[in-house]
Amino acid sequence: MTKTKPENDVLLIEIEDHVATLTMNRPAKRNAMCDELLDAIDAFFSKPPEGVRVVILTGTAGHYCSGLDLSEHVARDAEGTMRHSRNWHRVMDIIQLSGLPVVSAMFGAVIGGGLELAASTHVRIAEPSCIFQLPEGRRGIFVGGGATVRVGRILGADRMCEMMLTGRKFGTEEGLALGLTHYAVGEGEAMPLARKLARGIAYNATLSNYMMIQAISRISDMSRSDGLFTESLAAAVSQTSADAEEGLKAFLEKRKPVFR
């Protein structure tokens, strides 16, 4: 069954076979992020439609997301700027930790807030046209959507500092080497691979998907001993579930498991 939203929406939503495809739809702005688009993404992940197990996030008209729409920038005092930044953090956290695996199909601009958005997703696929950049430092501002945490952990603080100081752009192959993307594919191949991977992820047990999303990033924040204990808790919950029993039974019977 396929459900869609009107084409004039800033976020197009299509649902088919447990996979929701979210398309950022501001083609004249290279899908730059505005409050309306951020609110639409927030609304989806805050209350996902029933039956959705995996999300694909992508853009339209040749671009993923070119970051914050500076043409809609409004003057804010320090408190207003902080609150705006913290709202971005909240929405990026919802994307990363909602419990739904998110696959990014990327092409064109993956810049500034667009890179922050991509870094909050779990699987990233890049076509040859991708440009990864954090240009804020060249505009007299600082990142505010979580880049210092998410992008910084991918690149390391030293590499990210250089990237911001110089406004350096990375292409797809460089992005692959640095970890900004997990897959480098040919032109027009990001969405087909995203759909293939999403279908495979949707076939996993929902509890094990949830555990991977919730536990792994948190364990990376913990001390070694706390992380190992948390891993044991996650293992105990997942390995005593009905899906684990089905997975073992299917393995012994040499068939594909049928999870809930």
Over residues 198-213, the mean pLDDT reads: 95
Please tell me the predicted confidence (pLDDT) of residue 4: 63
Q: Which of 197, 44, 195, 29 is nearest to 111 (CA)?
A: 29
Catalytic sites, residue numbers:
116, 136
Please tell me the predicted confidence (pLDDT) of residue 167: 95
Residue 105 is which amino acid?
A: A
Sheet holding 183-184, edge to edge: 3-4, 11-16, 19-24, 54-58, 102-106, 123-126, 183-184
Higher pLDDT, 201 or 259: 201
pLDDT, tens digit, 9 for 90 and up, residues 158-184: 999 999 999 999 999 999 999 999 999
Domains of the chain: 3-203 (3.90.226.10), 206-252 (1.10.12)
pLDDT at 7 over 70: no
Please tell me the predicted confidence (pLDDT) of residue 130: 98
Q: Which residues contact 234 (CB under 8 A, 6 or more apart)?
A: 211, 214, 215
Please tell me the predicted confidence (pLDDT) of residue 73: 66
How many angstroms separate the CA atoms of 147 and 168, rounded? Answer: 15
Is residue 75 very low, low, confident or very high in pLDDT (cuts 50, 70, 90)?
Answer: confident
- In degrees and rounded to multiples of 5, residue 55 shows phi and psi of -125, 140
pLDDT at 28 over 80: yes
Per-chain mean pLDDT for the chain = 93
Looking at 67-71, 168-172, 239-243, which range is the least confident one?
67-71
Please tell me the predicted confidence (pLDDT) of residue 248: 80
pLDDT at 1 over 60: no
